[in-house]
Structure 1
Protein backbone atom coordinates (compact mmCIF):
# COMPACT_ATOMS: atom_id res chain seq x y z
CA UNK A 1 0.00 0.00 0.00
CA UNK A 2 1.50 3.31 -1.07
CA UNK A 3 1.72 6.30 1.23
CA UNK A 4 -0.77 8.37 -0.77
CA UNK A 5 -3.49 5.70 -0.73
CA UNK A 6 -3.02 5.26 3.02
CA UNK A 7 -3.45 9.02 3.40
CA UNK A 8 -6.64 8.93 1.31
CA UNK A 9 -7.99 6.07 3.43
CA UNK A 10 -7.31 8.07 6.57
CA UNK A 11 -9.17 11.08 5.13
CA UNK A 12 -12.16 8.94 4.14
CA UNK A 13 -12.34 7.32 7.59
CA UNK A 14 -12.08 10.72 9.29
CA UNK A 15 -14.87 12.08 7.08
CA UNK A 16 -17.05 9.04 7.74
CA UNK A 17 -16.57 9.37 11.51
CA UNK A 18 -17.50 13.07 11.30
CA UNK A 19 -20.68 12.27 9.33
CA UNK A 20 -21.61 9.51 11.80
CA UNK A 21 -21.12 11.89 14.72
CA UNK A 22 -23.42 14.49 13.09
CA UNK A 23 -26.02 11.76 12.49
CA UNK A 24 -25.91 10.69 16.14
CA UNK A 25 -26.34 14.31 17.26
CA UNK A 26 -29.37 14.65 14.96
CA UNK A 27 -30.90 11.41 16.24
CA UNK A 28 -30.31 12.47 19.84
CA UNK A 29 -31.84 15.90 19.16
CA UNK A 30 -34.90 14.38 17.49
CA UNK A 31 -35.43 11.92 20.33
CA UNK A 32 -35.21 14.79 22.84
CA UNK A 33 -37.84 16.70 20.86
CA UNK A 34 -40.18 13.71 20.66
CA UNK A 35 -39.89 13.20 24.43
CA UNK A 36 -40.91 16.81 25.11
CA UNK A 37 -44.02 16.78 22.93
Structure 2
Protein backbone atom coordinates (compact mmCIF):
# COMPACT_ATOMS: atom_id res chain seq x y z
CA UNK A 1 0.00 0.00 0.00
CA UNK A 2 2.90 2.32 0.76
CA UNK A 3 4.18 1.87 -2.79
CA UNK A 4 0.88 2.91 -4.37
CA UNK A 5 0.51 6.04 -2.26
CA UNK A 6 4.15 6.88 -2.99
CA UNK A 7 3.49 6.61 -6.71
CA UNK A 8 0.38 8.78 -6.44
CA UNK A 9 2.32 11.31 -4.41
CA UNK A 10 5.06 11.56 -7.03
CA UNK A 11 2.66 11.58 -9.96
CA UNK A 12 0.05 14.01 -8.69
CA UNK A 13 1.81 15.84 -5.87
CA UNK A 14 -0.72 14.66 -3.31
CA UNK A 15 0.11 14.94 0.33
CA UNK A 16 0.31 11.70 2.29
CA UNK A 17 -3.27 11.72 3.58
CA UNK A 18 -4.77 12.31 0.14
CA UNK A 19 -2.57 9.64 -1.41
CA UNK A 20 -3.64 7.15 1.27
CA UNK A 21 -7.32 7.97 0.73
CA UNK A 22 -6.92 7.60 -3.03
CA UNK A 23 -5.16 4.26 -2.68
CA UNK A 24 -7.81 2.96 -0.25
CA UNK A 25 -10.57 4.05 -2.64
CA UNK A 26 -8.74 2.37 -5.54
CA UNK A 27 -8.39 -0.89 -3.61
CA UNK A 28 -12.08 -0.86 -2.62
CA UNK A 29 -13.06 -0.28 -6.24
CA UNK A 30 -10.75 -3.04 -7.47
CA UNK A 31 -12.16 -5.34 -4.78
CA UNK A 32 -15.74 -4.66 -5.94
CA UNK A 33 -14.83 -5.44 -9.55
CA UNK A 34 -13.06 -8.62 -8.48
CA UNK A 35 -16.08 -9.86 -6.52
CA UNK A 36 -18.52 -8.86 -9.25
CA UNK A 37 -16.81 -11.25 -11.68
CA UNK A 38 -17.12 -14.22 -9.33
Short-chain TM bin: 0.5 to 0.7
State the number of aligned residues: 25
Q: Compare CA radii of gyration and give the structure with the larger one.
A: 1
Considering fraction of residues, name the structure with more helix: 1
TM-score scaled to structure 2, two decimals? 0.62
Provide the alpha-carbon RMSD of the alignment.
Answer: 0.4
Unaligned runs of 5+ in 2: 1-13
More relative contact order, 1 or 2 (CA 8 Å, 6+ apart): 2
